[in-house]
Amino acid sequence: MENLIKKRYYVILFIIFGLVAICLIRLFHIQILDPSYKKHAEQNALRHLTEHPERGLIYDRNDSLLVYNEVAYDLMIVPNELRTFDTNDLCRILDIDKEILLKRIEKAKAYSMLIPTIFEQQMSKEDYGYVEEKLYKFPGFFVQNRTLRSYPHPVAAHIFGYVGEVSQKILDNDPYYQLGDYIGISGIEKAYEPELRGVKGKRVVLVDVHNRERGSYNDGELDQAPVAGTDLWSSIDLRLQIYAERLLNERSGSIVAIEPATGEILCIVSSPSYDPNLLVGKARGKNYRLLQEDKKKNPLFNRALSAMYPPGSTFKLANALIALQEGIITPSTSYFCPHGYIVGNLTVKCYHTGTVDLTSAIQVSCNNYFCRIFYNTLSNRTKFPSIQEAYNTWKKHINDFGFGQKFESDLPYETRGIIPSSDYFDKIYHKSWNGNTVISMGIGQGEVATTPIQMANFMAIIANRGYYIKPHVIRAIGKKNNPNHRYTEKHYCSIEAKHYAAVIKGMEQVMVAGTARRSKIEGIRMAGKTGTAQNPHGMDHAVFAGFAPIDNPKIAIFVLVENAGGGGAVAAPIASSIIEYYLKDETKKEELENKLNDSLKK
């Protein structure tokens, strides 16, 4: 009997030890060999947060702050951590419909069950404080800081651009971004996204049973600090930008001013515009729709880069330079103008009459003179065997000036303008055409169309006597004394430098005794050309192009005011005011600002 008891004792003891051994082996497997259980345990106690870096700041050329950051708060969701909660309560807190709440949850689940995504973005400090107090009721939700752009001056919206949520296309092609991340959509924000965005960091925090953070995990051993984005110094002169926008005063049109020697854009205006702060924060979507739906003003459209206009009489300068280069004329070549260019049944009217050479033709903007030199260029069969070869040579010169092509600099969404090919005319006119068929192009009308940025650059070319550096808006990256080396190459045009003097002489006469004489600036030698761009949809556009000072150019400018009539009456005064403001000392700037303020009040 005693042996039987001992046997049972050992059997039971063996079973107990066996069970303990099995438990120990299983525990060893769970804790050491199989990481999935550890992962699930950590998910119940740890939260992995993305630390979004601050985007780089943007300054003007004189260190005035143009774009900075403000703190905002996003409510994040981790679908795998969701537990049963009062959906109606969360709807009340966030002021959203239950249907929207459920759709957002499903969207987050579809993206990832484990990766945190934005549920409610860009909450204010007040909303954040209220939500933070209630978070213990909503397992799977937490609040994360991020920064939003802010603009101390409501100007240059088209150039700054705006930041928005990444699209699905970007998510599919760039692993850096996750659902809910922000990215530059347009303007400087888009062109310099890699520099401005910085590098994300990460933080691992302990979370208690009430969904509240209790500090860093393991003294921050797994944390990585974010790296802030790189600061940029723009070429924009803030005071000049403000002044130019106020001069245009909400009239539809554009102003572009360039420093000729560097290609740096001093101011660039597209009007009507909008306050860039409208496209920041929770109201961004609503405000964007309102701006987009305003078809009358079309404030989102960047006229400076994307609008195409007939350049009008300012284009005559290009045809003059080409005729000089090709030996069609010399500066002393003269023609008699009988109130227009008249060939058979073809008449291009002109307000001038009498004999003019190149200088006086520019001064009085003689249509007959420039139609003749354009026709003679295309009809020179001694030099060009066919109209096609003559036109192609002309077009090459025009393209060298920057017309009919994009600069591909740091200005997104620019258009090419229109400079048709000879093939286009061959198709339209069945290869039966000549200079008179396209004579309107000799005076900047007809099939030709340019953008304001192209015309301002053309003025920089004339100011430089034959070259340009691509127009751009960022002059330094990282530090003010660290120049933007992307834009230093000089692009030389096909017109020899010697030919510019005669054209500039005529442009000076425009300001002294010509169509812009009322806009000359005391003490500053200025070159200019007025224009009236025909508009088939209404009143003609007023145009002016020029630069100053003539001997040492500091600013080249193009102004176009839609539906304003003659360039000498409207566009030229605006341009000369901007040039004077830029070149005069601070005392004079104050006087000009006061004068403008008084005129705007009337």
What average pLDDT does range 15-20 have in this prediction? 73
pLDDT band for position 233 (cuts 50, 70, 90): very high
Give which of 521, 497, 520, 495 is closest to 510, Cα–Cα. 520
Alpha-carbon span 140 to 117, nearest angstrom:
11
Alpha-carbon span 453 to 266, nearest angstrom:
12
| Adjacent-strand bridge partners of 555 | 548
Give which of 409, 470, 474 is closest to 60, Cα–Cα. 474
pLDDT, position 579 = 97
Alpha-carbon span 99 to 108, nearest angstrom:
14
pLDDT, position 209 = 61
Alpha-carbon span 159 to 153, nearest angstrom:
13
Query: Of 41-55, 287-301, 318-332, 365-379, which range is least confident?
Result: 41-55
User: What are the tens digits of pLDDT across the range 156-203?
Assistant: 999 999 998 898 899 889 989 988 788 999 999 999 999 999 999 988
pLDDT, position 44 = 52
pLDDT, position 5 = 65
Residues 6+ apart with CB under 8 A from 221: none
151: which 2 tokens?
């603009």
Burial of 141 (0-12, 13-18, 19+ CB in 10 A): buried
For residue 303, how many other CB atoms are within 10 A of its CB? 26
What average pLDDT does range 239-263 have in this prediction? 95
Asked whether residue 565 carries a pLDDT value surpassing 60, the answer given is yes
DSSP state of 54: P
Task: Calculate what percentage of the chain has a pLDDT beyond 70.
Answer: 92
Alpha-carbon span 404 to 488, nearest angstrom:
22
pLDDT, position 142 = 86
What average pLDDT does range 288-301 have in this prediction? 94
Looking at the domain covering 238-289+300-601, what would its CATH class be? alpha beta
Give which of 257, 159, 265, 250 is closest to 559, Cα–Cα. 257
Residue recorded with tokens 């442009």: 507
DSSP, residue by residue, 526-588: -EEEEEEE--TTSSPEEEEEEEE-SSS--EEEEEEETT---TTTTHHHHHHHHHHHHHS-HHH
Ranges of each domain in the chain: 47-232, 238-289+300-601
Asked whether residue 34 carries a pLDDT value surpassing 60, the answer given is no
Count how many Cα atoms sit within 13 Å of the Cα of residue 302 in the half-sphere of its side chain: 19
| Single-letter amino acid code for the residue at 229 | G
Name the CA dihedral angle for 423, 428, 429, 434, rounded to a multiple of 10 degrees.
Answer: -50
What is the rounded average pLDDT for all residues in the chain? Answer: 90
pLDDT, position 553 = 98
Asked whether residue 74 carries a pLDDT value surpassing 90, the answer given is no
pTM of the model: 0.86
DSSP state of 354: E
pLDDT, position 210 = 59
Query: Of 41-55, 111-125, 256-270, 479-493, which range is least confident?
Result: 41-55
pLDDT band for position 35 (cuts 50, 70, 90): low
User: What are the tens digits of pLDDT across the range 351-391?
Assistant: 889 999 999 999 999 999 999 999 999 999 999 999 999 99
601: which 2 tokens?
């009040």
Asked whether residue 257 carries a pLDDT value surpassing 80, the answer given is yes
Asked whether residue 595 carries a pLDDT value surpassing 80, the answer given is no
User: What are the tens digits of pLDDT across the range 469-495?
Assistant: 999 999 999 999 999 999 999 999 999
pLDDT, position 461 = 98
Q: Is 419 helix (H, G, I), strand (E, B) or coil?
A: coil
Looking at the domain covering 47-232, what would its CATH class be? alpha beta
pLDDT, position 41 = 46
Alpha-carbon span 565 to 253, nearest angstrom:
12
Task: Calculate what percentage of the chain has a pLDDT beyond 90.
Answer: 65
Asked whether residue 153 carries a pLDDT value surpassing 90, the answer given is yes
Strands 232-234 and 58-59: parallel
What average pLDDT does range 63-75 have in this prediction? 92
Alpha-carbon span 54 to 474, nearest angstrom:
19
Residue recorded with tokens 């078809």: 295
pLDDT, position 147 = 85
Asked whether residue 37 carries a pLDDT value surpassing 50, the answer given is no
